[in-house]
Chains A and B, each alone.
Chain A
Amino acid sequence: MAPFLAIFITFVALPAVLGLWMSLHDWDYMFEVRPFVGLENYFNLFDSASAAYQMFWNGMRATAIFTVASVPLLMAVPLALAVLLNRRFAGRTFFRAVFFMPYVLGVAVVGLLFRFALDPNIGIINAGISALGLEGVLNALGISTPIPWITAQPWAWISLVLMTVWWTLGFNTIIYLAGLQDIPRELYDAAKVDGASGWQQFRHVTLPGLRNVILFVVIITTLASANMFGQSVMVTGGGPGDSTRTALMVILGEGLESFRMGSAAAMSYLLAVFLGIVSIINVLLVRGRRRS
């Protein structure tokens, strides 16, 4: 216990307390004098006349949009995939590896890849659309071509969400697979004897059996999405305008580019409080389904 405690205090407790302390000051580590400003850094975030206000809440909005758009997909798609990959068929292991593969790439690699693939004028995706003659189909649907994948909304969000799903679905799939293998076979056999259809088996055996796994996945996926940073940096640069500039990008800019570390610490704490609340709601929602 002692070594763990030492590590916990050094790397979690102390920085957390120091961050709180920072957020109460006009903190710049280059200056000897770091004036105590009380809750001013926090008040500024709720005062529409301050420079930080608009920046921060636009960042929070971008983070919220991305989280709400990506989490359901990152919950559902890997679950469907895990159920499929859990069946016995030739090449099963190969397919598991294929779906997991993008996850091992770093965000810089994935970002650069999509940045060029999605380029509105010189990207391979728009080139493919015109090569396949799909422009007529899109125009008939009311979509003008070439599609501005990363330079206009809502396309920028669509691109960021889909590339994130492609990139990270392997991780959640593996977690789900592990959970699926823990569900006793006898339950499915019993369900079949009772005449349950495939859907009913999924609904009444698979889902309840995965409850704890789902809770785990929903929480870490939400936190991962709320901490989205690299994709925006690499692919859209926070644009168009500042629409994809996430809270994390704002905090980093405030703390390490503008060196307003007190203000950045206050922003981080506010973000942490929000994430805490969201996690609690997640827990309550998943638990609440126990009534079935």
Chain B
Amino acid sequence: MNRLDIFPAYSLSRRRFLTATAAMGAGALLSACGGGSSPSNPGADTPAEPAADTYDGPSVELEFWNGFTGGDGPFMKQLVDQFNAEHDAVTVRMTVMEWADYYSRLPAAVTSGRGPDVGIMHVDSLSTNAARNVIMPLDDVATALELDSSDFADAVWSAGEYKGQRFGIPLDVHPLGFYYNKTVLEEAGLDPEAPPMDRSSYEDALEALKSAGISGHWMSPHAFTGSMTLQSLIWQFGGSLFNDDGTEVLWDQDPAIEALTWMVDAINDGYSPTDVGQDADAIALQNGQAAFNWNGIWHMNNLNEVPDLEWGVAPLPNIGGAPAAWAGSHNFVMTTQRSPDDNKLDAARVFINWVSRQSLAWAEGGQVPARTSVRESAEFAELTDQATFAEQVDYLRFPPAVPGIGDAFEDFDQALNEAVLLTKEPADALRSAAERAAKKLEENRNRFGE
């Protein structure tokens, strides 16, 4: 996810950072074992595919749209330039816009036949756009690229499927992680090299920080980063946001109430100030007013730019009992074309495959590569901060592949906001939000004919 973290405006577009349980239900089986190309595929070629490493057709231009407006934009630009330099016959033109604009403009552009050839989408938007015919199935691409689940982390790979077809080729995973300010820990007499990793030591550390006059962990009432924190906690406490096929809302149950109560208690116990503003939790860590901040991996770039800041990263502390962490994922997509051009499709495959293999350079921009081979390489291990976040890859969760699932998160975020701002009891806030979200899911099922 890419966003200037000082820019609250775009935290509005909630569909950019949803998440939930890994879709292991009836809707998304782990298939994609080499086959799975659908007969309804526009532009699906015969099985005798050319190797997807080279393109030898006539010169083509590819339009590539994404929302990398933040610190990660230059990294992608560099990759595109390098690709263009290495491939004479293909020219990729990259257009960058804010994610919120991107998601509302893309369908309109596709309808008028002016959509890009290749785009990037967050994993939680794939099913909605698949159901609305904005993007096309990529099973043939995955086949041509000889990609299968073994190339990727399971949760990431299966989250890109909708109704048995593949719609996204994962580029990265961006999990939530644990940032801590070493200087502040030292001031409170804590070990700056061993941050607390379980509930009791975490609470002890918060208590020690409080004695030193520091609010250790600022609880954000906003989607960024509060909603991601709450989601991680719900899974840690053994709960879920939705059932596996995304038909029921489960965040009105005990684990969720427990998770949100833990956040609210931190405020009541004086471990966090009240009324934390958007991004104030992150700024507080930089200013030495907080010791801990649970934030996305993309936030590293911001901290790297702060001179003389002594900070460290770790996987999320396990508060609830089961290890779990929120994550998003950027996926390559190809948009539905009115009149598919086989040359462009081939070139697009080559481009997607090339970037996917080069994703080490992308990881430097504050991401975990989705491809297992890259993630397990020695070069990636050298990016120690990113590699630390990547340790969580086996217990990351994504939302069920249900069209319109994003609509439910608006209510989830509202419940978080009401509870953390102390205007409602956690249980009340969660229950009324769950009721509203359940209605939306039901209406969406009718709409998308689920």
Q: How many whole Å from A292's CB to the nearest CB in chain B? A: 46
Known interface pairs A119-B280, A237-B222, A258-B407; A152-B15 also in contact (CB < 8 Å): no
B284 contacts the other chain (Cβ, under 8 Å)? yes
Q: How many whole Å from B218's CB to the nearest CB in chain A? A: 8
Q: How many whole Å from B414's CB to the nearest CB in chain A? A: 6
Q: Is the CB of A253 within 8 A of B280?
A: no
Interface size class of A (residues with CB under 8 A): 35 or more
A139 contacts the other chain (Cβ, under 8 Å)? no
Q: Is the CB of B275 within 8 A of A121?
A: yes
Q: Is the CB of A259 within 8 A of B132?
A: yes
* Cα–Cα, bound, A146→B215 (Å): 15
In the bound complex, residues from chain B placing their C-beta under 8 Å from that of A146 are 275
Q: Is the CB of B108 within 8 A of A152?
A: no
Interface 0/1 of A93-131, CB less than 8 Å to B: 000000000000000100110010001111100000000
A207 contacts the other chain (Cβ, under 8 Å)? no
Interface of A, secondary structure class, is loop
Q: How many whole Å from A239's CB to the nearest CB in chain B? A: 5
B13 contacts the other chain (Cβ, under 8 Å)? yes
Q: Is the CB of A119 within 8 A of B12?
A: no
* Cα–Cα, bound, A237→B8 (Å): 8
Q: Is the CB of B9 within 8 A of A234?
A: yes
In the bound complex, residues from chain A placing their C-beta under 8 Å from that of B421 are 151-152, 239-241
Of A3-11, A28-36, A167-175, A280-288, which binds chain B? A28-36
A194 contacts the other chain (Cβ, under 8 Å)? no
* Cα–Cα, bound, A151→B280 (Å): 12
Q: Is the CB of B418 within 8 A of A26?
A: no
A212 contacts the other chain (Cβ, under 8 Å)? no
In the bound complex, residues from chain B placing their C-beta under 8 Å from that of A256 are 104
A residues touching B (Cβ–Cβ < 8 Å)? 26, 28-31, 49-51, 54-55, 108, 111-112, 115, 119-123, 146, 148, 150-152, 233-234, 237-242, 253, 256-260
* Selected A-B contacts with CB under 8 Å, 25 pairs: A26-B447, A29-B111, A30-B111, A30-B133, A54-B436, A112-B9, A119-B280, A121-B280, A122-B287, A123-B277, A148-B274, A151-B221, A151-B421, A234-B8, A234-B9, A237-B8, A239-B221, A240-B418, A242-B414, A253-B410, A257-B13, A257-B14, A257-B15, A259-B107, A260-B447
Other 4 A-B pairs with CB < 8 A, given A151-B275, A240-B221 = A26-B447, A108-B9, A115-B277, A240-B417
